[in-house]
A and B are shown apart, each in its own frame.
Chain A
Amino acid sequence: MALINVAAREIHCKIVYYGPGMSGKTSNLQYIHSQVPKEAKGELLSIATETERTLFFDFLPLDLGKVRGFQTRFHLYTVPGQVLYERTRVAVLSGADGVVFVADSQKHKLEENIRSLRELAVNITRQNKRFQDFPVVLQYNKRDVPGALPVATLDKYLNTLGWQRFEATATSGAGVFDTLKAISKLVISKL
């Protein structure tokens, strides 16, 4: 739930990057952190295992500055993607205003994408929100990998609700900001 502090003239929104393990959620945040001007970002906080897999979440606060007198902040989170951490994902999703679902375009990952998306729907519904109305943007990541599934195939299995979707290569940054812009605007439109 977005928080509007009238006394401090601040607006805070929470956006969560969700998706199967190794789909590139952390890479999205790392790229955003590397590109956003210093004055607009806080530290990128990562709670990861020794092998740099996300254990709890990554957290990146972005400060958009004053918009019509209100200091506006987006807090970006990632969830740990591995199946083991299902309950942790529920915890990170708590109070989210919008979700970027980062799908892995590789053929052998399709089933994992579908499972993860189903789990997201269940988790959003458990928060008493209607999944059909919840702000979601899809990102088909790893488009640079040889043999990546065609977009039409991914659409057929993952985009049955007709969300905005973007092709991306998060490690090089392609599509990362298009995705972030889309989810930010979607969240603002639902405030």
Chain B
Amino acid sequence: MDPQLTSQIVPAEEIKVIEECLVRLAEDTGGNYVLLLDKSGQVITAQGDAARQDITALGALIAGTFASSREVAKLLREKDFRQLFTQGVRENIFISLIEDQWILCIIFNKGTHIGLVKVLTKKATDDLSVVLERVREQQKARDDVLGSSFRTSMEDTIDLLFRD
């Protein structure tokens, strides 16, 4: 089957590894919030300021920004832009691509130096690349989650919810 049509399953133990990596990045940089997204805009996991709202919309917008920058890169005959930095009045955002599949995003304030964020994000990106590689190979859990009874239940839910 076309690999792009299959789902990406992130097992519980890998989520734990990812969370530890994000916590370490937030602590070492003093960043306020760290997110790991799939390039489709879905939030894999997030760490930091729990009061932050609208994580879902944030994920969609950040992934949109990144996808948009990829198209800009093509127009400039650049391979791609692997990092994006957005500077705000109170907070800044640094975004880094992991192997064309995941997006690591850190939100930090004036108390954190961008140089430190860049260096430590690079290290986190390397660590997460290894996790991504393992996740890509992990397909055997798929049938445990997506059995035929799951699909039937899903269809019933769709019928129940999506109606005028």
| Chain A residues at the B interface, C-beta cutoff of 8 Å | 1-8, 11-12, 14, 32, 35-37, 40, 42-43, 45, 56-57, 59, 61-62, 64-65, 67-68, 70, 72-73, 75, 77, 87-88, 90-92, 94-97, 127-130, 133-134, 173, 176-177, 180-181, 184-185, 188-191
Contact = CB atoms under 8 A, between A and B. Distances in A.
Contacts of B153: 67-68
B127 to A, nearest CB: 18
Contacts of A181: 158-159, 162
A4 B147 CA distance: 14
Contacts of B78: none
Helix, strand, loop or mixed for chain A's interface? mixed
Given A35-B164, A45-B60, A64-B161, A14 B154 contact: no
A14 B40 contact: yes
Interface of B: 2, 4-12, 15-16, 38-42, 44-45, 54, 56-57, 60-61, 63-64, 67-68, 70-71, 74-75, 141-142, 145-146, 149-151, 153-155, 157-159, 161-164
Contacts of B16: 7
Q: Which 9 A-B pairs have the closest CB atoms?
A: A95-B40, A91-B67, A7-B15, A7-B12, A2-B7, A12-B42, A87-B71, A4-B9, A94-B67
A177 B39 contact: no
B6 A1 contact: yes
A1 B38 contact: yes
B45 A5 contact: yes
A59 B162 contact: no
Contact of B42 (A14, A36, A88, A189): A14
Contacts of A1: 4, 6-8, 38, 40
A44 B79 CA distance: 33
Contact of A6 (B5, B64, B145): B145
A14 B41 contact: yes
A59 to B, nearest CB: 5
Nearest to A35: B164
Nearest to A95: B40
Contact of A59 (B4, B9, B60): B60
A70 B60 contact: no
Contact of B150 (A70, A91, A96): A70
24 contacts: A1-B7, A3-B8, A4-B142, A4-B146, A5-B45, A32-B162, A40-B161, A45-B57, A59-B57, A64-B158, A68-B153, A70-B150, A73-B56, A88-B68, A88-B71, A90-B71, A91-B64, A91-B71, A94-B70, A133-B2, A177-B163, A185-B154, A189-B151, A191-B7
A3 B153 CA distance: 18
Nearest to B70: A91
Contacts of B146: 4, 191
B45 A96 contact: no
Contact of A70 (B42, B68, B145): B145
Contacts of A73: 56
A132 to B, nearest CB: 11
